[in-house]
Structure 1
Amino acid sequence: MKLEKHHYKAILESLEDPVIVVLKDSTIVYINEAYSRQFNVPSEKIIGRKLKEIEENARILKVLETGEALINDCSYVHSLKRDVYANITPLKDNGKLIGAVTIMKNLNEITKLQNELERYKRYSMQLEGQLNQDHFSLLESQVPQMISAVNIARKVAGTDVTVILYGESGVGKEVFAKAIHEASTRKDKPFIPINMASIPDNLLESELFGYEEGSFTGSRKGGKKGLLELANGGTLFLDEVGEMSMKVQAKLLRVIQERVFHRVGGTKPYSLDVRIICATNRNLKELIKKGAFREDLYYRLNVVPIHIPPLRERKQDIPYIISNLLNNLILKYKKPVTMPDEIYDILRNYDWPGNIRELSNVLERMLAVCNRPKFEKSDIPEYIQHVSDSWTANVYTKSSKKDHTSLNDVLEQIEKTKLLEVMANSRNRTEAIKKLGISRKTFYAKLKKYGIK
């Protein structure tokens, strides 16, 4: 199909950007509908007139004079009373200049986009500032057990006392350790983490203490510094200490006592100046009873024990935790997405057996699949949606047994269910009270209220 003359006009009329065409003598011969609409100028009012009479300093006149295009040109048009952003190109016939065509952008649109870009830049700077702030702020909580744990960490951070962090996998033990390090006098020195469970036992000793050249087949020329040596002056974070073999435990105990160590295959003593923070999800006392953990090492490590509650026992904190995690992920991926209240509610109803690590992974997955400015239910993994739907249906079924069920009835049913659930998963009532984060008096008042024996 061959384009006819009227097709070219149709193309110009289809553009959303204003177009104006002038002849070499500055006579205006064409404006498109977008020009009339955006600048409120009827075509009959302007076509046939000389541009230089309407706008004597028009940038189009310069193109007519020089025959050179002006690309991305910004100027104030007095007759239109606004700034415009335009591409002005000469029209030539067999190399002879016959006029010029201008395609404009309303500068207000450009300004709006620039303002939006500036807003995202400010948001990015705000997020960067949050990342650089006091690490303890990431551990803020409304739950008494968590508040107590953070307070202890703050108090001991300025000392060199050995700390051991107890908690399930994924509760944020390394975040605690980093916060303690950052608040200490060693903050400008290395923070060296090592997961004792991730390194094979036959390599753990050389990783911790380093080795001398020729100490074993395949050893590096000149030897290698161990993690203890790399951490000198700073903090060594030993995660999953319950997984160490008895042999490594004995060597670590000696190092802690004497503050001196030797590389594998060497005799030269190296002095040790590190702050040791440990972590475990195991019950070390039970391991001692089974002969799997040295009692003397336990007392060396268990100087300041800090117990970190699992996420299911601090659901009040979930919105704040989500906000912190999501801000970091948005900064990482440069993809701002907001979270509506109904999405928060679904995430709160889930028990998070993988704790904060699982929550972080889920948020990262949600951000990756979401292509909208805010999250929707479909962005949440199906297994979490299923748990939330089951929980809601269960509450509704129980509460709907009464006619004209009030909000108070629903809340009481939820509270009673939670009491029974926590008591069933606690060794005694004292532990249940701690998990619920309420006073002993309130706890027993609620037992009486709901007839729980």
Structure 2
Amino acid sequence: MKLANHLLSILESLHDAVLVIARDSTIVYINNAYSVQFGVPADKLIGRKLSKVEPKARIHDVLKNGQPLINDYSYLHSLNIHVFANITPLIENGELIGAVAIMKDISEFYALQDELERYKTYSTRLEEQLHNKIFEMLESHVPVMRQAVHIARQVAESEATIMLYGETGVGKEVFARAIHEASPRRDREFVAINMASLPESLFESELFGFEDGSFTGSRKGGKKGLLELAEGGTLFLDEIGELSLFLQAKLLRVLQERLFRRVGGTNPVPLNVRIIGATNRNLNKMMETGAFRNDLYYRLHVVPIHIPPLRERKPDLPLLIHTIMGDLSMKYGKHITLTQEVYEMFEQYDWPGNVRELGNVLERMTAICPRSYFVPDDVPESIRQEREAEKMEDTTPIYEGGIGLPGAIEQTEKEMIIEALRVSRTKTAAIERLGISRKAFYQKLKKYGLL
């Protein structure tokens, strides 16, 4: 088999490696690009059988069946490289006389692909760690709180609308942010709206935005509303129970149609947000009295999550204090610990302001404490006074000859509480049955060992 000189010049000018073999797999030609790219001199290959050098080379298949292989990927064991090749049979007078392969080394591409896969795996692990870190601040030893966090984790990846229930200060926005950060929308905005703080006159302009010149005194060029700012992200509607029926109707329309218009505008703007609502109100009772729309309730009440108050999760105090004090140490540049006596005062307090109150108390104490540890005098007076009041109640004397009037009153009181707990489905129902405040109820539970 001979190649014309002019054809050899063309082959030598190519930047891709060229290999030509005869019908019996003898290597008859490699161009200079082949030698340079693969580091093999021509005299080391020409004349040898490719079947001996590279038994599994794909060019052998072309010699067998006479069919070309276009855009073919293969691995050359003799050279330890991945190649991309076009392999064509050589036909002369209708007879197969050999084959030619034009190849490109793509080992770097494969290396980059492997590197990309490693980065993907690493990224996935980091994402899982971040997902876990997000919910670490919500760790709990209390079953009801653990259940709330479990539900939040489950629904974070979905698009389901979530309704968070809980008293003021329990951490509803912390929950909402954790859900957002663990969701596919984490790279977009989290926009929190306190519905109670929006005056009815400004509701539409703040929520929907406005066009240039839509009303007297409006900003030149218009303004995006909070809904547009949350585009692609999460919209947190806090204090949803405080909206008037008029504003509830406006919000419902937007949530149903997933469209809104800026004030003074005519073009509809699509709403692409994940909705998370929150309230400290009993929306069921509000519906019964007509203070909250049924249709809006069912639009929001897809996945309800009930967050317990701090007084019902006292075992979590060490975790919460550790987390809060860690943040305060960075903020104030000092590390302060709690003595056992201070911790016991915290444990016996009912924390009506919940986690928010705990955080405020610890920050106040940290800001003014001159030592590396807290003492009882550092604790706010309101908490100390309650502690002293409980001590006085615990030292009520028992009169000789019987339990006396104070003892009889306490015994009757304890029996009434036990009976209320027995016949009531919830503690809230028991409190209503007894006709006392929630704070007094939990103080008495602790006093009589009923917690």
Band of TM-score, shorter chain: 0.5 to 0.7
| Alpha carbons 2:310, 2:354 under 8 Å: kept | yes
Mapping of residues 56-71 of structure 1, within 5 Å: none
Corresponding residue for 1:430?
Answer: 425
Corresponding residue for 1:342?
Answer: 341
Question: Cα distance, 1:420 vs. partner?
Answer: 7.2
Corresponding residue for 1:307?
Answer: 306
Question: Cα distance, 1:245 vs. partner?
Answer: 2.0
Unmatched 5+ stretches in structure 1: 1-129, 403-413, 436-446
Corresponding residue for 1:373?
Answer: 372
For residue 425 of structure 2, give the secondary structure of its aligned residue in structure 1: helix
Corresponding residue for 2:172?
Answer: 173
| Alpha carbons 1:423, 1:432 under 8 Å: kept | no
Letter in 1 for 2:179: I
Corresponding residue for 2:39?
Answer: none
Distance in 1 of aligned mates of 2:419 and 2:167: 19
- Deviation readout 1:229-258 (Å, 9 max, x if unpaired): 000010000000011122221221122112
TM-score by length of 1: 0.60
Corresponding residue for 1:278?
Answer: 277
Q: 1:345 to 1:277 in 2, by over 3 A?
A: same
Letter in 1 for 2:187: D
- Deviation readout 1:238-284 (Å, 9 max, x if unpaired): 00001112222122112211211111111111111100000001111
| Alpha carbons 1:349, 1:391 under 8 Å: kept | no
For residue 319 of structure 2, give the secondary structure of its aligned residue in structure 1: helix
- Deviation readout 1:377-428 (Å, 9 max, x if unpaired): 1110011011122223433548x899xxxxxxxxxxx9x999976986x796
Question: Cα distance, 1:326 vs. partner?
Answer: 1.3
Distance in 2 of aligned mates of 1:316 and 1:322: 11
Distance in 2 of aligned mates of 1:419 and 1:347: 28
Letter in 2 for 1:429: S
Mapping of residues 8-407 of structure 1, within 5 Å: 134-397=133-396
For residue 191 of structure 2, give the secondary structure of its aligned residue in structure 1: strand
Question: Cα distance, 1:217 vs. partner?
Answer: 1.1
Q: 1:417 to 1:278 in 2, by over 3 A?
A: farther
Fraction of identical pairs, as percent? 58
Corresponding residue for 2:16?
Answer: none
| Alpha carbons 2:191, 2:234 under 8 Å: kept | yes
| Alpha carbons 1:422, 1:432 under 8 Å: kept | no
TM-score by length of 2: 0.61
Between 1:132-141 and 1:271-280, the stretch displaced more is 132-141
Distance in 2 of aligned mates of 1:451 and 1:326: 30
Distance in 2 of aligned mates of 1:451 and 1:374: 31
Q: 1:428 to 1:205 in 2, by over 3 A?
A: farther
Distance in 1 of aligned mates of 2:172 and 2:300: 15
| Alpha carbons 1:236, 1:274 under 8 Å: kept | yes
Q: 1:211 to 1:423 in 2, by over 3 A?
A: farther
| Alpha carbons 1:249, 1:297 under 8 Å: kept | yes
Between 1:144-153 and 1:248-257, the stretch displaced more is 248-257
| Alpha carbons 1:253, 1:297 under 8 Å: kept | yes
Q: 1:268 to 1:167 in 2, by over 3 A?
A: same
For residue 189 of structure 1, give the secondary structure of its aligned residue in structure 2: coil
Question: Cα distance, 1:323 vs. partner?
Answer: 1.1
For residue 350 of structure 2, give the secondary structure of its aligned residue in structure 1: coil
For residue 193 of structure 1, give the secondary structure of its aligned residue in structure 2: strand
Letter in 1 for 2:227: L
| Alpha carbons 1:235, 1:274 under 8 Å: kept | yes
Mapping of residues 407-426 of structure 1, within 5 Å: none
Question: Cα distance, 1:205 vs. partner?
Answer: 1.6
| Alpha carbons 2:131, 2:181 under 8 Å: kept | no
Q: 1:191 to 1:153 in 2, by over 3 A?
A: same
Q: 1:168 to 1:335 in 2, by over 3 A?
A: same
Distance in 1 of aligned mates of 2:291 and 2:153: 32
Question: Cα distance, 1:338 vs. partner?
Answer: 1.2
Corresponding residue for 2:57?
Answer: none
> Larger Rg: 1 or 2?
2
Alpha-carbon RMSD across the aligned residues, in angstroms, is 3.1
Number of aligned positions between the proteins: 296
Distance in 2 of aligned mates of 1:392 and 1:131: 45
Q: 1:433 to 1:197 in 2, by over 3 A?
A: closer
